Structure 1
């Protein structure tokens, strides 16, 4: 397989997954604000914190109001992580490799992008947002099922899996990090009655509430939710499941030594931690380091299989957009260190 084709398939998958994840967190946050009393509800800034695009947001908007955040995350094309931008980038990657994916998948992705663009005005309203986001999530899920059921399960499919699960692992860690820190501070005892609502919203952002209740069979609370989302081997959006899926796909590819080494280190780190023993500061530090590790894994994948980028030329669209997601936490950490 040509390295260019492998890169396009990888980024096609990442962008589609990114669009779905963003749609999920926007939809769930709107419902969360209805469940929590005024003064306790976290507002809309945590969604920008999750994406790590605070600097870009503040360049174009004066405050973190609902209208501004929703527009930035759904339809602002200046934000390479917005739903519309992600679907547009996925569509462009898919267009260049139409011979490697089923024709129906290309047609569905094209329709999904046009729907996201043409109905954007409805998605930005409170009344139309839920239907708009739900249709996008269902469209992405349909495309994932179509690719799984009709695409050749060869090396191209392995790169599709790599993109999906590295993006998913990154989003899950970001979601846990920001939500656990920003919703209900541990030291504020009067907010404890709302703890269950906090963690239910985290689970629903990953469509994991029902799976959690079946698996854990305990009430929704911090420690079992953290174990479930970080380490559960059978929940498709847990970090542990994502890493195991990455390992299986990497094992099928040639010259995989460096990528398997990074993946193995991440798996050992994850398996060796006891989330219930981490206070909020320790959890934040752990997730910071883990997100940097995910960025390192992406870097190893790019260096091993994708075309090199000449130093004197501008980065490709895919590489420049990846920096929004995979290096934001690293940059923030370095800035705090200074």
Structure 2
């Protein structure tokens, strides 16, 4: 790699990662909220557990509730925590604030359009304090509009950024976060998805599978390929190995590998590229063995850990002075 300072590269990488995290947090929170509303009349305990699943998909997240919260209380507190809490370091507001701080440090590397949109999004979220007193319907509306604002920021990046190392690092952060979040969702959702269907309420079972696909923005893409058949093994294969849907693990890691190779054209193979090559080779050539395994959720958790190790290797190589 040439041309970009380590500090600038790190900030632009994390800008991409925090923007992706903010959109993912908003999207997944929306999907879990919709699922909880859909099934609360059929299984109230499961509707509460949906919110626990959300915290499992964002390890380290904080939701403050009473010792025995009602469904309405845990819904309200989860929406508040994942939308606007700065105590929750995985919330939409925290992620956007962090992205804005990264952008401020590297202001000279950004286009005006990108910085203005990001700053406006940050200021809007900052205005929602605990004293604002937003109700659940208002928070749901804000989640939807904030997602549109993030799409606008990402669109400005794609339309106005120079095609150079900066954009490579930003895209690396984005696809790294996307692959990691898809794997965490699968590690949480696969145990119920692969459970025996004769022991569950089928409408609830299929509602949960649809919600899992929606949570990674893949329901329509899945239906385009497989119609209405929500076979759990087919869903797992799609989210892990599909070659075209943007949130599949295979697509994300393939793009990450391409970005690493483009950064080091003509140079010896780097440690991050070597580590990532092993992961992508396994996904490429061991698809059947992975899907046939008895603990697919554990495999997804292990892959998420492997991706974190690739992130650490990238940090050591490019961001450590």
TM-score (norm 2): 0.88
Q: How far did residue 218 of structure 1 move?
A: 4.8
- Cα separation, 2, equivalents of 1:182 and 1:131: 30
Q: Which residue of 1 aligns with 2:292?
A: 277
Q: Does 2:197 align with 1:194? A: no
Provide Cα deviations, 1:46-103, integer angstroms capped at 9, x if missing partner: 111110116x557x86467223322222222122111111110100000111111111
Q: Which residue of 1 aligns with 2:76?
A: 67
Alignment match of 2:90 (pick from 74, 81, 91): 81
Q: In structure 2, do the counterparts of structure 1 residues 260 and 217 end up closer, same or farther at CA, with 3 Å as the change threshold?
A: same
Q: 8 Å contact 1:98–1:106 — kept in the other structure?
A: yes
Q: Which residue of 2 aligns with 1:106?
A: 115
Tell me whether 223-232 or 256-265 shows the greater mean CA deviation: 256-265
Q: How far did residue 209 of structure 1 move?
A: 1.0
Q: In structure 2, do the counterparts of structure 1 residues 123 and 35 end up closer, same or farther at CA, with 3 Å as the change threshold?
A: farther
Q: How far did residue 6 of structure 1 move?
A: 0.1
Q: How far did residue 140 of structure 1 move?
A: 1.1
Q: 8 Å contact 1:28–1:205 — kept in the other structure?
A: yes
Q: In structure 2, do the counterparts of structure 1 residues 225 and 278 end up closer, same or farther at CA, with 3 Å as the change threshold?
A: same
Tell me whether 126-135 or 267-276 shows the greater mean CA deviation: 267-276
Q: Does 2:219 align with 1:213? A: no
- Cα separation, 1, equivalents of 2:204 and 2:93: 34
Q: 8 Å contact 2:79–2:139 — kept in the other structure?
A: no
Q: Which runs of 5+ in 2 are unaligned?
A: none
Q: Which runs of 5+ in 1 are unaligned?
A: 309-338
Q: Does 2:19 align with 1:9? A: no
User: SS of the counterpart of 2:163?
Assistant: coil
Q: 8 Å contact 1:123–1:132 — kept in the other structure?
A: no
Q: In structure 2, do the counterparts of structure 1 residues 294 and 123 end up closer, same or farther at CA, with 3 Å as the change threshold?
A: farther
Say how many residue pairs are matched: 304
Q: 8 Å contact 2:241–2:287 — kept in the other structure?
A: no
Q: In structure 2, do the counterparts of structure 1 residues 257 and 80 end up closer, same or farther at CA, with 3 Å as the change threshold?
A: same
Superposition map of 1:70-219 within 5 A: 70-119=79-128, 125-181=135-191, 185-186=195-196, 189-219=199-229
Tell me whether 210-219 or 122-131 shows the greater mean CA deviation: 122-131
Q: How far did residue 295 of structure 1 move?
A: 0.7
Q: How far did residue 232 of structure 1 move?
A: 0.7
Tell me whether 138-147 or 114-123 shows the greater mean CA deviation: 114-123
Q: In structure 2, do the counterparts of structure 1 residues 252 and 222 end up closer, same or farther at CA, with 3 Å as the change threshold?
A: same
TM-score (norm 1): 0.83
- Cα separation, 1, equivalents of 2:133 and 2:16: 23
RMSD: 2.2
